[in-house]
Amino acid sequence: MRRIRIAPSVLAWDLGDLNEAVAISVKGGADQVHLDVIDGHFAPNITFGPGTVRALRRRCDLKFDTHLMIDEPTLYAEKFIDAGSDLLTFHAEVLTGGRFDELHALVRSKGRQMGLALKPATELPEWAASRLDKVDALVVMTVNPGFSGQAMDMSTMPKLERINGMLEARGGSVDIEIDGGVEPENVHEVVSRGGNVLVAGAGVYSKKDPAVAIRALRERAEEAAGRA
Ligand code: DX5
Ligand code: ZN
């Protein structure tokens, strides 16, 4: 079983006080902090760019899990790498095998990790299935990209099972990151199907004590992994 990791998504916090959001993640013992970059084209919201990532990086060492929900990742990937992102996740919907290979070469040349994300309605494309050995994390989105606070779309569960089956058959070293609507109540659903990195926006930052919420999610997930 891959290790459970908790990745709070700062999109659910006050965007004017992101240093505090990151500090809360550190305090709660999060494994990484999830930074949602949205360009207003790929999804109907606009968040922040590499300048903000760089500013956050100055104040902490926590792993930065940067989720690029942008139409033109090849134009911006290097900027987010240089700003201090550790894991760069790109969306399959805007890539081809060739574009993926270029991005992969860039990410690896800088010693960073590579993630590949799928919107709820997107199946793993052929070109991606043949490149799984190049991916550190497969990000299964369980809400449509754009906003925090949406309910998890359970119709994505069969896809999660298929992806988990495919990765297990290959040795199972790729992380499966679940992004969207993760709450203590549905942690068992996703962890028992192979999810091991849990992104949580509202599931952390809308709780009375977000640092405690991070620990509670981890406990639930570890329990579910034990039972899976
Ligand atoms: C949605 C983002 C998610 C979102 C998660 O576009 O990719 O990371 O912030 O927030 P919750 O956990 O509240 O759904
Ligand atoms: Zn995200």
Each domain of the chain, given as residue ranges in start order, spans 5-227
Question: How many angstroms is it from 33 CA to the middle of ligand 1?
Answer: 12
Angle separating helix axes 73-82 and 97-109, nearest 10 degrees: 10
Categorize the per-residue pLDDT at 211 as very low, low, confident or very high, splitting at 50, 70 and 90: very high
Instruction: Please check whether residue 59 is in contact with residue 24, taking contact to mean a CB–CB distance below 8 angstroms.
Output: no
Q: What backbone phi and psi angles, to 5 degrees, belong to 30?
A: -60, 150
Categorize the per-residue pLDDT at 227 as very low, low, confident or very high, splitting at 50, 70 and 90: low
**Residue 124 reports pLDDT greater than 90:** yes
Nearest ligand, measured from the Cα of 115: 2
Pocket test of ligand 1: the residue of 93, 177, 179 to mutate, having most ligand atoms within 8 Å of its CB, is 179
**Residue 158 reports pLDDT greater than 80:** yes
- The pLDDT value recorded for residue 154 is 98
**Residue 228 reports pLDDT greater than 60:** no
- The pLDDT value recorded for residue 172 is 78
Residue in this structure with the two tokens 């709780």, named with its chain if needed: 207
Tokens coding 3: 């290790």
Q: Percent of the chain, pLDDT > 90?
A: 96
H-type alpha helices, 83-138: 97-109, 126-129
Please give the CATH topology (third level) of the domain spanning 5-227: TIM Barrel (3.20.20)
Choose, from 31, 65, 136, 179, the residue flagged as catalytic.
179
pLDDT tens column, 11-30? 999 999 999 999 999 999 99
Categorize the per-residue pLDDT at 104 as very low, low, confident or very high, splitting at 50, 70 and 90: very high
Contacts of 180 (CB under 8 A, 6+ apart): 120, 141, 142, 143, 144, 150, 152, 153, 199
- The pLDDT value recorded for residue 117 is 99
- Distance (Å) of CA 41 to CA 68, 122, 149: 12, 17, 20
Pocket test of ligand 1: the residue of 199, 204, 206 to mutate, having most ligand atoms within 8 Å of its CB, is 199
Q: Which of 26-40, 93-107, 167-181, 190-204 has the lowest mean pLDDT?
A: 167-181
Categorize the per-residue pLDDT at 1 as very low, low, confident or very high, splitting at 50, 70 and 90: low
Report how far residue 35's alpha carbon sits from residue 65's, in angstroms, rounded to the nearest whole number.
Answer: 6
Q: How far is CA 25 from the centre of its chain?
A: 15
